């Protein structure tokens, strides 16, 4: 076998990435613009002995996925704005109960029904804070079709390793766009495996290093007979209302991700070392941004590009490094400045932050970003 | 018969239920049914939602999931679909199953997925202290029905039957022997089984409606039920406002995970014959 070369749609690449990572269960509900993922899973999973189910709504979809994950299966769902909103409570359940699950959110214009077939990037903060209560989460954001494959694969690796829901925050253009993609030989994929306890004797489902440790997860039906609850729980899984237990659990869950931040950090960078003006973007906005940056460079302007591939935890260090050179940072995004807000927080006045928000359901044109660049110089 | 306490996580007892609550009796009936059938402890998954009744699973020594409000059946569907060899049992309440979880309930029934659902129906939201539920009889008092409930109750069993469940039965914490027998049959049914177990809530339903304590509420339940066999000989006026107990409905129809397995086998035969690989990707490899 050799590399796979294919003209592929983003949604198809997400599905291929999931299958490459050993996807065994998909529960979903039809919603534009993510539906192709469900369609393809319904076709492909039976071939490999996996399970597809079309649930009655998105609440049920993620619930079924979490249930499947409890039995040791790799599970995924895919949705868009309204469905993503419905999933939030159970995403919080998976965070607190530490159940691996991958959620693909193909962003569309919102709020509400919005514009179902138009691209947007307005779910940046919802992906981070959509469920109630303090919680950690990992959010990856692909910038082209190949990355739909790579980041969905990576989502499974991280989800299984850290026992946490991982969200792939794509957008309508990235997922409906078709590109020629070269994927590695399927034989080279290393399917992520969940760390398992050795035996049921003395098994404590939530025993872990208080400083961000990940407890070992036993699959259901193997004699461990453990209790999983969305109530705060001690290391035996028993519900607890004790302040010390609650505090220790929430802080361990936070540290679990904070401590390993460097491992998640992923981005694309071009000409950042000497740039006077940096453009920070992600997803389909970054395609227009990169084109504008290259044009500016060609004309002798010192412009640089940073495209985020990990959205959350936010890559603070990478952003901070920008200020050693850049005096202005332009943030094109299809929302009213959600990432720009984070950039401002990190930059803390050390550079000028220009919010370039677009919320009309249209993609950025490279000229729009180029104009902002020209103005900044 | 094994010691019943062997099915409990003894270290998690005592339970949180109020004195006189019916949920313990129903939990006991389930454990007796499991014991009588000699089911493998390691092969059973208990799933619950939120509410008083949903706390039951935490005390029982199986793989157990205490999920989000109303979603027990959706989680259970994922578990059963992922591993059809597991015996999946859902313990839920009237609010959890028929209000917030109503949609999952009718769709689980429609699929006829092999899950046994015990609806512990005390006709009130107990955990939040006495609001009326979809099974609170018309006119009764609750903390959100201070002038009497203006709504009318669900007949949960008829709902289950209409939606496609293949085994439907009702008993109560008063009719424990019957309840245990029905649970045994439900557990043996290959399909979606519903056993509605009426339970007394002396703390909220009993007190708010001035019925009395546990015994009086149990008697109230007894008085509003008629055995389905006895009902056959009674005139309609005698059945007015009564709930039938016993085995109410059985229907032999295809079960979801079995149908899915059948489809999978067919697909795999075709796919293996074709040998086209993953959507023909190999054909395009360089």
Q: How far apart are CA A319 and CA B182, in angstroms?
A: 64
Q: How far apart are CA B94 and CA B196, in angstroms?
A: 9
> Cβ contact (<8 Å) for B78 and A3?
no
Q: How far apart are CA B16 and CA A75, in angstroms?
A: 34
Q: Are residues B261 and B195 in the same domain?
A: no
Q: Are residues B143 and B194 in the same domain?
A: yes
Q: Does A24 touch chain B (CB under 8 A)?
A: yes
Q: Which residues of B touch A67 (CB under 8 A)?
A: 47, 65, 74-79, 82
- The edge-to-edge listing of strands for the beta sheet with A267-270 is A267-270, A303-308, A277-281, A328-333, A352-357
Q: Which residues of B touch A102 (CB under 8 A)?
A: none
Q: What pLDDT, on a 0 to 100 scale, did the predictor assign at position A185?
A: 85
How confident is residue A189, by pLDDT bands cut at 50, 70 and 90? Answer: confident
* Helix runs in A145-219, H state only: 145-162, 172-176
Q: Are residues B38 and B151 in the same domain?
A: yes
Assigned token pair, B224: 């509003």
Q: Are residues B160 and B222 in the same domain?
A: yes
Q: Are residues B219 and B282 in the same domain?
A: no
End-to-end CA distance of chain B: 65
User: Using one digit for the tens of pLDDT, what is the confidence trace for B204-232?
Assistant: 999 999 999 999 999 999 999 999 999 99
Upper half-sphere CA count for residue B251 (Cβ side, 13 Å): 19
Q: Are residues B102 and B132 in the same domain?
A: yes
Q: Which residues of B touch A53 (CB under 8 A)?
A: 77-78, 81
Q: Are residues B108 and B220 in the same domain?
A: yes
- The edge-to-edge listing of strands for the beta sheet with B225-227 is A227-229, B63-66, B44-48, B87-93, B115-121, B193-198, B167-172, B243-250, B225-227
User: Using one digit for the tens of pLDDT, what is the confidence trace for B153-196?
Assistant: 999 999 999 999 999 999 999 999 999 999 999 999 999 999 99
Q: Residue B286 pLDDT more than 50?
A: no
Query: Do residues A227 and B11 make contact, with C-beta atoms less than 8 angstroms apart?
Result: no
Query: Do residues B72 and B25 make contact, with C-beta atoms less than 8 angstroms apart?
Result: no
User: Using one digit for the tens of pLDDT, what is the confidence trace for A7-37?
Assistant: 999 999 999 999 999 999 999 999 999 999 9
Q: Does A226 touch chain B (CB under 8 A)?
A: yes
User: What does pLDDT average to over chain A?
Assistant: 96
List the domain range (segments joined by +) for residue B283: 256-286
How confident is residue B273, by pLDDT bands cut at 50, 70 and 90? Answer: low
Assigned token pair, B274: 């074709």
Question: Residue B61 gets which letter from DSSP?
Answer: S
**H or E element: which one contains A281?**
strand A277-281
Shortest Cα–Cα distance, B154 to chain A (Å): 21
- Token pair 């039976």 is found at A46
> Cβ contact (<8 Å) for A229 and B65?
yes
Residues 6+ positions from A35 with CB-CB distance below 8 Å: A11
From chain B residues 93-112, the ones with a CB under 8 A of any chain A CB are 103-104, 107
Shortest Cα–Cα distance, A353 to chain B (Å): 41
3-state class of B38 per DSSP? coil
Q: Characterise B241 by phi-psi region: left (phi > 0), alpha (psi -120 to 50), beta (else).
A: left
Residues 6+ positions from A66 with CB-CB distance below 8 Å: A75, A90, A93, A94, A97, A99, A101, B67, B75, B78
Q: Are residues B184 and B224 in the same domain?
A: yes
User: Using one digit for the tens of pLDDT, what is the confidence trace for A75-128?
Assistant: 999 999 999 999 999 999 999 999 999 999 999 999 999 999 999 999 999 999
Q: What pLDDT, on a 0 to 100 scale, did the predictor assign at position A339?
A: 98
Assigned token pair, B124: 């009130």
Q: Which residues of B touch A220 (CB under 8 A)?
A: 45, 63, 79, 83, 86
A&B contacts, CB < 8 Å:
152
- Select the residue of A59, A186, A221 nearest B83 (Cβ to Cβ): A221
Q: Which residues of A touch B263 (CB under 8 A)?
A: 46
Q: How far apart are CA A333 and CA A282, in angstroms?
A: 7
> Cβ contact (<8 Å) for B77 and A231?
no
Shortest Cα–Cα distance, A258 to chain B (Å): 27
Q: What pLDDT, on a 0 to 100 scale, did the predictor assign at position A1?
A: 57
Upper half-sphere CA count for residue A250 (Cβ side, 13 Å): 14
Q: What pLDDT, on a 0 to 100 scale, did the predictor assign at position B279?
A: 46
Q: Are residues B160 and B280 in the same domain?
A: no
Strands A25-28 and A75-79, sheet pairing? parallel
Domains, chain A, in order of start with CATH, read: 4-188 (3.40.50.970), 265-376 (3.40.50.920)
Most B CBs within 10 A among A67, A75, A202, hence the mutation to make, goes to A67
- Select the residue of B11, B42, B81 nearest A221 (Cβ to Cβ): B42
- C-beta neighbour count of A206 within 10 angstroms: 21
3-state class of B138 per DSSP? coil
**H or E element: which one contains A180?**
strand A178-183
In chain B, the DSSP E strands lie at: 44-48, 63-66, 87-93, 115-121, 167-172, 193-198, 225-227, 243-250
Q: Are residues B202 and B261 in the same domain?
A: no
> Cβ contact (<8 Å) for A63 and B74?
yes
> Cβ contact (<8 Å) for A64 and B78?
yes
Q: How far apart are CA A339 and CA A333, in angstroms?
A: 8
User: Using one digit for the tens of pLDDT, what is the confidence trace for B14-42?
Assistant: 999 999 999 999 999 999 999 999 999 99
Q: How far apart are CA A74 and CA A60, in angstroms?
A: 17
User: Using one digit for the tens of pLDDT, what is the confidence trace for A39-71?
Assistant: 999 999 999 999 999 999 999 999 999 999 999
Give, in order, the Cα–Cα distances in Å from A88 to each of A131, B68, B123, B244: 5, 11, 29, 40
Shortest Cα–Cα distance, B244 to chain A (Å): 30
Query: Do residues B92 and B117 make contact, with C-beta atoms less than 8 angstroms apart?
Result: yes
Question: Per the structure, how many domains does chain B have?
Answer: 2
Q: Residue B275 pLDDT more than 70?
A: no
Q: Are residues B186 and B265 in the same domain?
A: no
Q: Which residues of B touch A19 (CB under 8 A)?
A: 278
CATH number at residue B126: 3.40.50.970
ipTM: 0.97
From chain A residues 243-272, the ones with a CB under 8 A of any chain B CB are none
Q: Does B129 touch chain A (CB under 8 A)?
A: no
From chain A residues 61-80, the ones with a CB under 8 A of any chain B CB are 61, 63-71, 73, 75
Query: Do residues A70 and A219 make contact, with C-beta atoms less than 8 angstroms apart?
Result: yes
Q: Are residues B276 and B165 in the same domain?
A: no
């Amino acid at each position: 076998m050799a590399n796979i070369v294919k003209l592929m749609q983003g949604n198809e690449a997400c599905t291929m990435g999931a299958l490459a990572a050993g996807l065994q269960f998909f529960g979903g509900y039809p919603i534009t613009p993510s539906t192709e993922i469900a369609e393809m899973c319904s076709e492909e999973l039976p071939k490999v002995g996996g399970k597809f189910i079309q649930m009655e709504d998105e609440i049920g979809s993620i619930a079924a996925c979490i249930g499947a994950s409890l039995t040791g299966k790799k599970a995924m769902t895919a949705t868009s704005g309204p469905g993503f909103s419905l999933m939030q409570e159970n995403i919080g359940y998976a965070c607190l109960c530490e159940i691996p699950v991958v959620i693909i959110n193909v962003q569309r214009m919102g709020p509400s029904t919005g514009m179902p077939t138009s691209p947007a990037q307005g779910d940046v903060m919802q992906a981070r804070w959509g469920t109630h209560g303090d919680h950690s989460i990992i959010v990856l954001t692909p910038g082209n079709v190949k990355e739909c494959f790579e980041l969905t694969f990576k989502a499974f690796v991280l989800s299984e390793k850290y026992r946490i829901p991982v969200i792939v925050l794509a957008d309508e253009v990235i997922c409906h766009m078709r590109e020629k993609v070269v994927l590695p030989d399927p034989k080279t994929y290393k399917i992520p495996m969940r760390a398992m306890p050795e035996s049921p004797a003395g098994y404590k489902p939530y025993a872990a290093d208080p400083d961000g440790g990940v407890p070992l997860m036993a699959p259901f039906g193997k004699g461990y007979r453990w209790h999983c609850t969305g109530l705060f729980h001690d290391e035996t899984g028993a519900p607890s209302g004790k302040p010390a237990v609650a505090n220790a659990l929430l802080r361990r869950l936070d540290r679990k991700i904070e401590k390993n931040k460097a491992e998640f950090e992923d981005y694309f960078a071009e000409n950042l070392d000497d740039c006077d003006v940096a453009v920070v973007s992600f997803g389909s906005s970054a395609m227009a941004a990169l084109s504008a940056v290259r044009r500016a460079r060609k004309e002798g302007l010192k412009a640089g590009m940073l495209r985020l591939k990990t959205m959350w935890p936010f890559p603070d260090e990478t952003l901070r490094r920008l200020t050693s050179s850049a005096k202005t940072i332009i943030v094109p995004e299809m929302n009213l400045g959600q990432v720009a807000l984070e950039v401002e927080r990190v930059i803390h006045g050390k550079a000028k932050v220009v919010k370039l928000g677009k919320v009309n359901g249209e993609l950025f044109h490279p000229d729009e970003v180029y104009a902002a660049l020209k103005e900044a110089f | 018969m094994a010691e019943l306490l062997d099915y409990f996580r003894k270290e998690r007892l005592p339970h949180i239920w109020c004195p006189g609550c019916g949920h313990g009796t129903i939990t006991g009936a389930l454990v007796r049914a499991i014991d009588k059938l000699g089911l493998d402890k390691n092969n059973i998954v208990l799933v619950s939602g939120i509410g008083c009744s949903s706390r039951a699973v935490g005390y029982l020594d199986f793989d157990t999931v205490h999920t989000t409000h109303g979603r027990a059946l959706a989680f259970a569907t994922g578990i059963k679909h992922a591993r059809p060899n597991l015996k999946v049992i859902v313990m839920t309440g009237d609010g959890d199953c028929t209000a917030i979880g109503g949609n999952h309930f009718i769709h689980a029934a429609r699929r006829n997925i092999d899950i046994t659902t015990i609806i512990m129906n005390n006709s009130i939201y107990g955990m939040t202290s006495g609001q009326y539920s979809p099974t609170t009889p018309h006119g009764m008092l609750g903390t959100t029905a201070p002038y009497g409930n203006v709504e009318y109750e669900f007949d949960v069993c008829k709902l289950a039957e209409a939606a496609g469940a293949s085994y439907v039965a009702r008993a109560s914490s008063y009719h424990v022997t019957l309840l245990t027998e029905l649970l045994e049959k439900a557990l043996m049914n290959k399909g979606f089984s519903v056993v509605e177990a009426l339970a007394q809530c002396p703390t909220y339903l009993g007190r708010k409606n001035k019925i009395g304590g546990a015994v009086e509420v149990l008697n109230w339940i007894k008085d509003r039920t008629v055995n389905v066999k006895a009902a056959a000989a009674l005139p309609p006026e005698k059945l007015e406002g009564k709930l039938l107990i016993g085995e109410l409905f059985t229907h032999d129809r295809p079960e979801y995970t079995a149908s899915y397995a059948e489809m999978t086998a067919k697909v795999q035969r075709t796919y293996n014959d074709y040998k086209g690989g993953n959507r023909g990707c190999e054909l395009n490899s360089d």
